[in-house]
Amino acid sequence: MAKDKKLVEAITSMEDDFAKWYTDVVKKADLMDYTSVKGCMVFKPAGYALWENIQHELDRRFKETGVENVYLPLFIPESLLQKEKDHVEGFAPEVAWVTHGGLEELPERMCVRPTSETLFCDFYAKEIQSYRDLPKIYNQWCSVVRWEKETRPFLRSREFLWQEGHTAHATAQEAQERTEQMLHLYADFCEEVLAIPVVRGRKTDKEKFAGAEATYTIEALMHDGKALQSGTSHNFGDGFAKAFGIQYTDKDNKLQYVHQTSWGMTTRLIGAIIMVHGDNSGLVLPPRIAPVQVMIVPVAQHKEGVLDKAYELRDRLSNFKVKVDDSDKSPGWKFAEAEMRGIPVRIEIGPKDIEANQAVIVRRDNREKQVVSLDTLEESVANTLDTMQREMLERARAHRDSHTYTATNYEEFKAIIANKPGFVKAMWCGDQACEDKIKEETTATSRCMPFAQEHISDVCVCCGKPAKAMVYWGKAY
């Protein structure tokens, strides 16, 4: 038992040091590791399997809306990156530059893509001639590189994995519809699959993407009360089209510029899963995203028939992602390990259970134990996973709601930010000066102007001038 406990005790408790707790979970749950390449990480099998499941489910949802996958080059020639002025200003300071190919210096240096708007624009300028070529609704799954100074597993690293959708449309309206459609797709995915409730809204101009007309975002609240931007969708209008000359002939034979969007989700979602659902025993995975949903732990497995029974149950549960832990570790150790890895449901089966035609089902999130009949095991497991998925979302929403505050004046606002981690809803005049002041004085940033606007007061929480919008504010990752 000393050994069994050790695995658990090695985690810092989240109340003591949330950042340390996070790193401990990442390491102990075997999700990733650091490498000799500074700022870059290894996705280990348990971490990559989470990303594969995210990919699989997102990709399925994308394709239902007409998205087609493509793959564009890793490199962007410097002259191409520079074509759109705002965009290059946003990204040039943080890209990695390739200067040599083989033994020769390149005639023009290239950066490793930090994002691929410029490549898609270059491609679309050739591909799109007529209204018949529209819309283009393309996406790619790849890695991108941003030369960050400070890095954190999954949340910020010099290379990360993501998908980036890039679309071109005949009309501004169609582009706006696609921008919002993808944001809602992201939000639904987070809520339905990751059990993470999100606030859907629009970024202020200060916080929008380099080169975008409008950026939409989903914002999630982590267990420590900090916000995590979890997916963004941008409407570019015809700005990039003008910079890159992407024009089509319409039905009246007139030349028009296309309207574009882009939208992306990244491996930082894994960080969100950890920080929304994890506890002091490790990771807690929502059943719908868990690479292993059910771990069967035989008790007294050396006794005749126990292991066979465990394998029999595994085979019966083949509709789920199920494994038997038949290693030579003690049951206590196996319980602790399955908890650390966040496996949603554990089934304990020993000689006495077999005799009584029953098994013990234990939920990872609330540790609730049920003794269930083996006759209806499939049903019991299905119900338990469904209930757990639903209750995890409800619990996360209750946490988010109980950590969302309202401020009507600046003193109140500052007091909340200083003392109560979470979102603060407050009115804003629309001036960047107020955003800047708030950020400087409180370190909170505007997270978004939610679609679901509320009228909290008539005036800006910062300057007292007439308010234009209600904003979610918070400290963010």
Q: Where along the sequence are the contacts to Zn ion (CB under 5 A)? A: 429, 431, 434, 460, 462-463
**Least distance (Å) between residue 185 CB and its own copies:** 19
Q: Candidates 102-110, 190-198, 233-241, 255-263: pick the segment binding its own copies (CB under 8 A).
A: 102-110
Site for its own copies in 44-63 (CB under 8 A): 44-45, 48-49, 51-52
Alpha helices by DSSP H, 283-425 = 306-316, 331-340, 351-355, 377-402, 410-419
For residue 93, state whether it binds its own copies (rule: CB under 8 A). yes
Whether omega before 135 lies within 30 degrees of 0, making that bond cis, reads yes
Say whether residue 97 binds its own copies (CB under 8 A): yes
Dist. CA 292–CA 431, nearest whole Å:
49
* Site membership for its own copies, residue 101 (CB under 8 A): yes
Q: Which of 96, 307, 415, 463 binds its own copies (CB under 8 A)?
A: 96
Cβ nearer to Zn ion, comparing 74 with 456: 456
For residue 52, the partner it binds in Zn ion, its own copies, none, with Cβ less than 5 to 8 A by kind, is its own copies
- Does position 94 bind its own copies by CB under 8 A? yes
466 alpha carbon, distance to own chain's centre: 35
CB-nearer residue toward its own copies: 112 or 212: 112
Hey, what are 175's tokens?
A: 């582009």
Please say whether the dihedral angle defined by the alpha carbons of residues 476, 394, 448 and 274, taken in this order, is positive or negative. Answer: positive
Q: Give the one residue of 147, 311, 451, 477 binding its own copies; rule: CB under 8 A.
A: 147
Task: Map residues 71-90 to x or -, x wherever contact with its own copies holds by CB under 8 A.
Answer: xxxxxxx--x----------
Contacts of residue 431, defined as CB under 8 A and 6 or more positions apart, other chains included, come to 460, 463, 465
Residue closer to its own copies (CB basis): 18 or 138? 138
Nearer to Zn ion, 398 or 433 (CB): 433
Tokens 């290894």 sit on residue: 42
What count of other Cβ atoms lies within 10 Å of the Cβ of residue 130? 11
429 binds, among Zn ion, its own copies, none (CB under 5 to 8 A by kind): Zn ion
**Are the beta carbons of 219 and 244 closer than 8 angstroms?**
no
DSSP 431: -
First to last CA, the chain: 38
Give me the 149-188 binding string for its own copies, x by CB under 8 A, dash otherwise.
---------xx-x---------------------------
CB 360 within 8 A of CB 160: no
CB-side neighbour CA atoms (13 Å) of 326: 12
Residue 69 binds which entry of its own copies, Zn ion, none, with Cβ cut-offs from 5 to 8 Å by kind? its own copies
Question: Of the candidates 375, 348, 351, which has an alpha carbon nearest to the alpha carbon of residue 361?
Answer: 348
| Binding-site ranges for its own copies (CB under 8 A) | 33, 35-37, 40-45, 48-49, 51-52, 68-77, 80, 93-103, 110, 112, 119, 122-123, 126-127, 138, 142-143, 145, 147, 158-159, 161
